[in-house]
Amino acid sequence: MAVYNAPLRDMRFCYRELFDGDGLANLPGYGDFTADVVDAVLEEAGKLAAEVLFPLNRSGDEEGCHFENGVVRTPKGFKEAYQQFIAGGWTGIAADPEYGGQGCPKALNMLVEEMICSSNMAFGMYPGLTHGAYNALKLYGTDQQKQTYLPKFVDGTWSGTMCLTEPQCGTDLGLVRTKAEPQADGSYKLTGTKIFISAGEHDLTDNIVHLVLARTPDAPAGIRGISLFICPKFLPKPDGTPGPRNGASCGSIEHKMGIKASATCVINFDNAQGWLVGELNKGMRAMFAMMNTARLGVGVQGLGLSEVAYQGGLLYARERLQGRGLKGAVAPEKPADPLIVHPDVRKNLLTMKSLTEGMRALAMWVAMSQDKAEKAATEEERTRHDDLIQLLTPVVKAFGTDIGFDNANLGVQIYGGHGYIREHGMEQFVRDARITQIYEGTNGIQALDLVGRKMSAHYGRYLRAFFHPVQQFIEENASDPQMEEIVMGLAKAFGRLQQAVGAVAQKGLSNPNEAGAAATDLLKLLSYVSVGFMWARMAKLAYGKLSDDPTGFYKGKVKTARFYMNKLLPQTGALLSSILAGGETIMDMEDELFGAGVAA
């Protein structure tokens, strides 16, 4: 049976020991988030996740959402859980106190999000989309829009959506056809259809506020003609309560592979009244305020699923008796030994553990950088931290979701046939994790973003935000005999990364297809090195605390770091070889030959 307990010890290690999260209390607006407060937030979030959300995960998946006559009902228990969620202030934990939020650091909020995703990813979609809408309106909305909508988002009584995708366009938003006709009162009439809209219709809140990409009649073609509009399900009355029904309605919900308790909707706009957000024809800039936050959030979804799959796999490996150890019985008093004695099972568990904890550390580094990019004292500091965020956002999104899916599969593998059936809950994690590699920009798009935008931006400045601290760490620790194995592994992989970046940059200048062909491998190479850097830092810290380690926590960190460096990081060698092989064998194949083996 699936199990989840919030990994608070490791979370505190990342927040407090690895990155000095308590020091965030010195930044403007974070003074209330002392160590005691942070611990209390984590404890309460862990209880909510384990005791309220996790018990609804399997039942919500089995029941799914119900659609009838344009109305969506969430699974049994979701409304009550959502009321408990907003009563605890969780919808506004990271929001500005000006609008009723608690203003917690983004790094702390990241850990709360992870717990929600581990315990019930489908449930987390509803407040998660709202937070994205909050971010976009806070940055680009008018004062009136902020005062009307943000307090409702923060207290959780209204929710938000992102309405981008249409039947003919997903990634290529320049193909958007939804129309926005200007009206005499300054509003717009929206007409069109959006698909794959998460939380587009449900019964959890009093109102649902859609942020919609559309184009005005005289807008330029393509992406330059896209504007962003706010379009509520119910038009707000002067007193701020929901008023008349707007022309935005749900046409159907999707029948999906996973996250079945999250309503994924077709939303039809039929002369729906909306208002411009930000500048005309500058909608993508505002929408990216949602998408960049969402991409990091999706990476954390992958992390959350990786954690819960690992916990389930570990429990089963300890309890399930199968066979004997290869060197003889480990538990001779029992009819068989537990699965955990077998090398292949141990390798699977260590793979899951090292990738999960390494990704948690990496996501924490980025989240801490978000806090500092917003609140650091100098422009130079803010820029430096933002550069790191820009570079590592596609890494957190893509690699975080890749390991979520891969580790969920490893969890099923550990369970064997019992993992494949529904009873134990493991197969749901595989199904839920699969979408994370697709939405908010497929992982292939993240790779193109890295190669096409991030590597070349500001003459490689984003890369330097990562390369410099890695190089500095290697130089400072190369002569430490205790760290020799760790540092050598990191240095070799880092050298491969530098070589790969140079090769892709050189080939891509003359042939963009070469850069595109190498993009996914390069993103994975950067990801493995990024997580390797986290493990090197964690090992350095853990070695210094082995003398006072009653629970074996730091000993476990050192041993997991050694596993990662010796068994997983060497994959960078194969990735480099693939990158250096170039894209000729990919692009040389004539289109018609792809189907040459299929009978006419």
Active site members: 440
Tokens of 449: 């973003």
Give long-range contacts, CB 8 A cutoff, 24+ apart: 540-548: 540/477, 540/483, 540/486, 541/17, 541/18, 543/482, 543/483
User: What are phi and psi for residue 260, nearest 5 degrees?
Assistant: -70, -20
Tokens of 28: 């403007």
Query: What residues are paired with 163 via a beta bridge?
Result: 212
Q: Who contacts 364 (Cβ-Cβ below 8 Å, separation ≥6)? A: 14, 15, 18, 19, 21, 107, 110, 111
Instruction: State how far the Cα of 495 lies from the Cα of 572, in Å rounded to an integer.
Output: 10
Q: Who contacts 179 (Cβ-Cβ below 8 Å, separation ≥6)? A: 190, 191, 192, 214, 215, 216, 217
> 3-class DSSP state for residue 505?
helix
> 3-class DSSP state for residue 209?
strand
How many whole angstroms from its chain centre is CA 454?
A: 19
Rg (C-alpha) for the chain, rounded Å, is 25
Burial 479-493 (b: 16+ CB within 10 A, else e): eeeebeebbebbbbb
State the DSSP H helix or E strand holding residue 276, giving kind and residue range, or none if neither. strand 264-277
Instruction: State how far the Cα of 206 lies from the Cα of 576, in Å rounded to an integer.
Output: 53
Q: What is the DSSP letter of 169?
A: B
Q: Who contacts 45 (Cβ-Cβ below 8 Å, separation ≥6)? A: 6, 90, 111, 112, 115, 116
Q: Who contacts 68 (Cβ-Cβ below 8 Å, separation ≥6)? A: none
> 3-class DSSP state for residue 321?
strand
Q: Calculate the CA dihedral of residues 99, 104, 106, 111 and round it to 10 degrees.
A: -120
C-alpha distance across the termini of the chain, in Å: 48
User: What are phi and psi for residue 258, nearest 5 degrees?
Assistant: -145, -170
Strand pairing category for 66-68 and 242-245: unpaired
User: What are phi and psi for residue 208, nearest 5 degrees?
Assistant: -125, 125
Strand pairing category for 158-163 and 71-73: unpaired
Instruction: State how far the Cα of 402 lies from the Cα of 394, in Å rounded to an integer.
Output: 12
The dihedral sign for the CA sequence 237, 240, 244, 248: positive
